[in-house]
Structure 1
Amino acid sequence: MAVFIENPILFGFYFIEVFINLELFGFFLLRWMQEKKERHISVLGASYFCLGMTRVFLIPWDFFGAGDIYYNIGALFAFIAMAVFMYASEILLKFWSHPFFPFVYIGLAVLCIFLPYEIVRILYYIFSPIMIVLLIGFLCILMSRTYGKVRRKFFFIFLGICIYGIGYALGAQFLRDLFTGLGEDIYGIFVSSTVLTGLAFTGIGFMGVPSLSEIHWEEFTIHVYVFHIDTAVCMYDESLLKKDVDLGKVIDEDDENFKDGAGVPADLFSSGVVGVMGLIKEMVSSDKRLKVLDHEDKKILLEYGEYVSIALLTFKDLKIYHEKMESYINDIEAKYEKHLDKWDGEITKFKKGLTTMTQENFKDIMDPTWWKVDFSKLGSSIKQLFKRGKKKNS
């Protein structure tokens, strides 16, 4: 017996949505198997699997008049997907030790088994927008905590969640009734296209999300030093070690020799670092500049400008540090270019300005200018993500 499908194009879009969700599930499953320690992002594969199953159960309900139980099961999977999304968000932000919102959505998923279709549908239309709003809020916080490439990856997710939310909002019946003039078929295709676009953006973004350390970078900074690049004079130094950091998590708790910073005067530290840099450069006969001195439990990260160089003492070598150091150098040289160009050895004139710049670059966790994303670099970020994916698969 032949089955007539009223809108085959929309039917096809729904199957594409299922395919994309399951494909993303496969990507995250692969990441789960490759990761050994932090699986805070790869767990999102479960959410994409559940979103795919949601559509699998809603297709019979939408096109073939299947019973309301299909809608309830679809909503059950949708609420589980929301719970996983909320769990990942709370873990990334370390809001509290015991996640709260995931349990709320798991509870809603359980209710889908017992409640009638009419109530389940109301719950779905109430709590789905709440989840999207919460996710957008979480992403705004994550973007304000991060910088550079890491922030751009979260911006992809931010765009994806917004587009995805708009797509599902447009699928609400009262909006369908409002735009009846466009035609049910055309409107349905537009809604599905919006949802698919949102899925693509979130998938691209999540696949590039880095380790928790990159997000909570402030927990691993120790000390910053600013040197005049020609004379190696230490112009400024400041401790960055947070008082509330649990040192046992980042260093050996039995290390009795641990001190804030290098444990030596700034000028002596400066001379030592510059001496090591010069020695290594001569030994390897390279024009390249040394970027990292690794002492296992601590790292000395180095960046260079035209007039100043920066040494950042940390517990970990994170990409975000190098980007922040470049920004720090640019700020210093932009403000003090005239003084640095005609260097007279006087360093007191720099203290006030460098204190402010250090606060902004290394102490302020939340960046109020997080929304200023360099759109010109978004395309290159996508290419890098796909290149990395090809390397892993090869």
Structure 2
Amino acid sequence: MLQIPIERIPPLLRESIFPIEGLFREPLLILEGIIFLLTLQYGILFFYRFIKEEREKNYMIRAWGIFFLTYTGNVIFFMISDFFSPLSYAPLSYVRQIYIDFGYVTLGLGALFFSYNAEREIQQKNHIFSIILTILLCLLIVDTFALIVSPETLAVLTNLPFVLLLIIYIIKFTSKIKEKWRLNIYGFLVGICIWISGYFLITDIVVESFGPFARFIGDFLIIIGISLISLLFVGLPSLTEFEWPKKMKKVFLMYKSGEYIADYNFQKDLTGIEEFKDLPKLIAGGLTGINQLIAEIVQSKQKLRIMDYKDVKIIFQYGNYLIAAIIVDEALDIYKTKLKKLIDYLETLYETYLPTWDGNLTQFQIVKPIIKRFFTL
């Protein structure tokens, strides 16, 4: 059997407490079983969402799925190494270290795949984080067999660029949805910090120094961290909320009687498409009739909120005097929030004109740039 050179093993580790026995063994196995189930569940959930997407695929969803599944593999290898390895009977055995290294490599592969996709999403063309992770991961794989430096040191170095990129990515993309899900975003960032703290507490040097209780606290923190991280995704009706700017086509602003006031085109080629040429007339000129028809059918005073038109959806928002409508590929909650804020702002801005508006569009010349400001990042 291969042996780890004695000089490679820190003094604290030469009489190891692994495999963990005694009072903390069963509680730790339960906690780490929970971590296993949580990460496996999230990994499968992301893959399911990725497969179910009918239109343009969001490859970051798949990247999240792979990361959580590789983290599941990391948990499995660590559980085998620390609870079922024969190290207490052969303190210098290579067996446990092999399991630990496989755990680090598995997680590193998930981090690398995630990093590549994240850099592509944030348009980091040189992929510097992915390159650094690739180099460190290769060193970690070589070190698994060559025993050049401590694998824990390489694992920490591998995690640093990944965590930094993860924070950059989340800050950049949650800035698009922060209006409504601010609490979810803060929970995610706090969860990252708690998860990192918990992961540190389950390392060998901490467990050997402070005993299994440190690992118990670490596992507990990891569960809390993963749960807080999940708030960002569980709280969203769809992960496509991240991509709301790509799904907008056009915004229309009308008076409550249905008269056209202004519009802003997010896709410049929309007006050239034959099937959309009569859409402004349908929305502006026919809005009152559509609402009356809907009201008669369902015998309700509810106003039309969402309408399907060919391959797009039209979302309506109503104020005291103004009506706004946006043409989108998918009806996301964030559009309703933005339309409401736009109407509130314009009705305050034109509060002296709107009650007695006579159809003159002169005073609304600045509305188009205002619409652009409300719907661009």
- TM-score of the superposition, structure 1-length normalised? 0.70
For the pair 1:113 / 2:141, whether they are aligned, the reply is yes
Aligned to 1:214: 241
One-letter amino acid of the counterpart of residue 229, structure 2: T
Corresponding residue for residue 342 of structure 2: 328
Gapped runs of 5+ residues in structure 1? 366-394
Amino acid paired to 1:221: M
Alignment of 1:92-171 (within 5 A): 93=121, 95=123, 101=129, 105=133, 108-115=136-143, 116=147, 118-146=149-177, 156-169=187-200
Which residue identity lines up with residue 21 of structure 1 in the other structure? T
Query: SS in structure 2 opposite 1:146?
Result: coil
**Contact 1:161-1:202 within 8 A present in 2 as well:** yes
Q: Which residue of 2 aligns with 1:69?
A: 98
Aligned counterparts of 1:152 and 1:296: Cα–Cα separation in 2: 36
Choose 341-350 or 50-59, whichever is displaced more: 341-350
Q: Do residues 82 (structure 1) and 117 (structure 2) align?
A: no
* Contact 2:206/2:214 (<8 A) preserved: no
User: How many angstroms apart in 1 are the aligned matches of 2:297 and 2:215?
Assistant: 67
The root-mean-square deviation of aligned C-alpha atoms, in Å, is 3.9
Residue 308 of structure 1: aligned partner: 322
Distance in 1 separating the partners of 2:281 and 2:330 = 23
Which residue does 2:5 correspond to in 1?
none
The corresponding residue for 2:3 is: none
Residue by residue over 1:50-102, the C-alpha shift from the partner in whole angstroms, topping out at 9 and shown as x without a partner, is 212212222354455353222211111110221243355346x3636997755
**Structure 2 residue 13 is matched with structure 1 residue 13:** no
Q: Secondary structure at the match of 1:232?
A: coil
Q: What residue is the counterpart of 1:277 in the other structure?
A: 291
Match of 1:227 among 254, 267, 279: 254
1:239 equivalent to 2:270? Answer no
Distance 1:333 1:192 in 2: 53
Residue deviations 1:279-329 (CA, integer Å, cap 9, x gap): 443455431211233221444322111221112234444333222212222
Q: Distance in 2 between matches of 1:268 and 1:33?
A: 35
* Inter-partner Cα distance in structure 1 for 2:49 and 2:231: 13
In 2 relative to 1, CA 297–188 (structure 1 residues): closer, same or farther, beyond 3 Å?
Answer: closer
Q: Quote the Cα distance in structure 1 between the aligned partners of 2:71 and 2:329.
A: 39
Percent identity between the two aligned chains: 23
Rounded Cα–Cα distance in structure 1 between residues aligned with 2:223 and 2:361? 57
Secondary structure at 2:149 match in 1: helix
Which whole-Å CA distance do the structure 2 matches of 1:29 and 1:269 have between them? Answer: 38
TM-score (norm 2): 0.73
Q: Deviations over 1:214-267 (max 9, x none)?
A: 3332233333222221x33333323332x5xxx6xxx8xxxx9517x9646978
* Aligned CA distance change for structure 1 residues 223 and 278 (closer, same or farther; 3 Å): same
CA deviation vs aligned residue, 1:175-209 (integer Å, no higher than 9, x gap): 789xx7xx544433322211111112234544566
What's the offset of the Cα at 1:141? 0.8
1:359 corresponds to which residue? 372
Structure 2: how far apart are the matches of 1:107 and 1:208? 36
Displacement after TM superposition at 1:104 (Å): 5.3
Structure 2 gaps of 5+ residues are: 1-18, 88-94
1:61–1:68: 8 Å Cα contact kept in structure 2? yes
* Count of residue pairs the alignment pairs up: 344
**Residues 340-379 of structure 1 aligned to structure 2 (within 5 Å):** 340-343=354-357, 345-352=359-366, 354-362=367-375, 364-365=376-377
- 1:119–1:173 Cα change, 3 Å: closer
For 2:286, what is the secondary structure of its paired residue?
helix
Whether the aligned pair in 2 keeps the contact of 1:331 and 1:357 (CA below 8 Å) is no
User: Which residue type is aligned with residue 65 of structure 2?
Assistant: G
Structure 1's 320 and 4: CA in aligned 2 closer, same or farther, altered over 3 A?
closer
Q: Does 1:290 align with 2:304?
A: yes
Per the TM alignment, residue 139 of structure 1 is displaced from its structure 2 partner at its CA by 0.6
| 1:146–1:204 distance in 2 versus 1, CA, 3 Å | closer
Query: For the structure 1 residues 333 and 169, does the alpha-carbon distance in structure 2 shift closer, same or farther, using more than 3 Å as the test?
Result: farther
- The Cα shift of 1:156 comes to 4.7
Q: Secondary structure at the match of 2:310?
A: coil
- Aligned: 1:188 with 2:215: yes
User: Residue 72 of structure 2 corresponds to which residue in structure 1?
Assistant: 52
Q: Secondary structure at the match of 1:236?
A: strand
Aligned-partner Cα distance in 1 for 2:148–2:216: 25
Taking the aligned partners of 1:134 and 1:309, their CA distance within structure 2 comes to 41
Corresponding residue for residue 91 of structure 2: none
Distance in 1 between residues matched to 2:354 and 2:334, nearest whole Å:
26
- SS in structure 1 opposite 2:316? strand
- Cα distance in 1 between the residues matched to 2:325 and 2:314: 6
